[in-house]
Structure 1
Amino acid sequence: MNQRIGYARVSTDDQHLDLQRDALTQAGCSVIYEEAASGKNATRPELEQCRKALRAGDTLVVWRLDRLGRSLPDLVQIVADLEQQGVGFESLAEKIETSSAAGKLIFHVFAALAEFERGLIRERTQAGLAAARARGRTGGRKPKLDAKQIRQIKVLLRDPNTSVAEVARDYGVSRTTIYKYCGVVRPSEFIEGTT
């Protein structure tokens, strides 16, 4: 027997589920999973239990779309997963249900918008990085040694009695960093184990 299963969520413990519960009951939901969790929170145990309870032919019903997904891409992914399982989806406030051709069309428009949004975010990120590079800024970590320190280290290491390990300790970096930034090659330190 196909069931209509409801999912209701509020963001905080202060809010009440009464409005959603009443709407889902009136829409014919025999079981309602209820949760108090932020939409930004990835872990929603009641939603997971609800999804496990759904069988092919069932319909997941929510009061509003924002009760189910954390974002448009998240919502589209959840509904796509439901569709693969043969489970219908219905949102009461927006009057969207994926069991009809018109409902599926509307949801595919949402999916296209979600993909468009992801593309815009990628483009803005790339444009921001390009603008930063044009101003001379590069991403990644700040260098461990500045140009003045590198010059000082090179002067210190001209003295054969100064070990790379001592300089590295004094500057608070590893020997590898000294070799990398100063181009120092002292194979004898590796062989003799004086580092």
Structure 2
Amino acid sequence: MLIGYMRVSKADGSQSTDLQRDALIAAGVDPSHIYEDLASGRRDDRPGLANCLKALREGDVLIVWKLDRLGRDMRHLINTVHDLIERDVGLKVLTGHGAAIDTTTAAGKLTFGIFAALAEFERELISERTVAGLASGSDRAAQAVRIHDLGARRPGGGEAGGRSQQARTHRSRAHRLRALHLLGVGGRQ
């Protein structure tokens, strides 16, 4: 039996599974045998995937549109496929990086290993870009505070309405936030 699984990263309605569903049905999956999650591929607690894996029996084939729909963590992907192979369940990936994957063949198993590594690499790049964006935002905020601080002093050293103290407070907070971001604390992980 052919069993399909599809996933989108956001449950807010900004992403749709229509394209994936159409591809799974075109590949021969009965619509009643398609499981779905609206969650990040990094999460392990995906009820649709858990139910899909429970439904698979010896001789079945799990079909996904792209490998990153199954997961973005190489260890998770490899463990999942290893479990499928142990249960004599095949995996077919319909598209992705120019090639389909079919773990019922030796070449398909090799291709899977390569693409699992690429999926994890892509996830790591997304994380690095997010951290870099947060750090850049903190740098701009700290610079804005410095500019504000320079303009807050009156000629002769007096303070204009206590704004210099506010600027020092904001600058101190900006430096603390930047340090937290550089340590990997806070923000989206």
- Letter in structure 1 aligned against 2:46: R
SS in 1 for 2:4: strand
- Contact kept, 8 Å, 2:24 with 2:63, in 1: the verdict is yes
Match of 2:18 in 1: 18
Partner SS state of residue 7, structure 2: strand
Conserved? CA contact 1:69–1:78, under 8 Å: no
- Aligned residue-pair number: 112
**Higher relative contact order (Cα pairs below 8 Å, separated by 6+ residues):** 2
Counterpart position of 2:137: none
Contact 1:4 1:61 in 2 (8 A): yes
- Assess if the C-alpha contact under 8 Å between 1:59 and 1:87 holds in 2: yes
In 1, Cα distance between the equivalents of 2:81 and 2:51?
Answer: 16
| Runs of 4+ displaced beyond 4 Å | 108-111
1:25-104 equivalence runs, <5 A: 25-30=25-30, 31-94=33-96, 95-104=100-109
For structure 1, the 5+ residue unaligned runs are: 118-195
Percentage identity across aligned positions?
A: 52
Structure 2 CA distance for partners of 1:108 and 1:12, relative to 1, 3 Å: closer
The corresponding residue for 2:151 is none
TM-score between both structures, scaled by the size of structure 1: 0.53
Structure 2 matches for 1:1-195, cutoff 5 A?
Answer: 3-13=1-11, 14=13, 15-30=15-30, 31-94=33-96, 95-109=100-114
TM-score normalized by structure 2? 0.55
SS at match of 2:49: helix
* CA shift for structure 1 position 74: 1.3
The CA RMSD measured in Å over matched residues stands at 1.9
* Structure 2 residue identity aligned to 1:106: T
Structure with max Cα Rg: 1
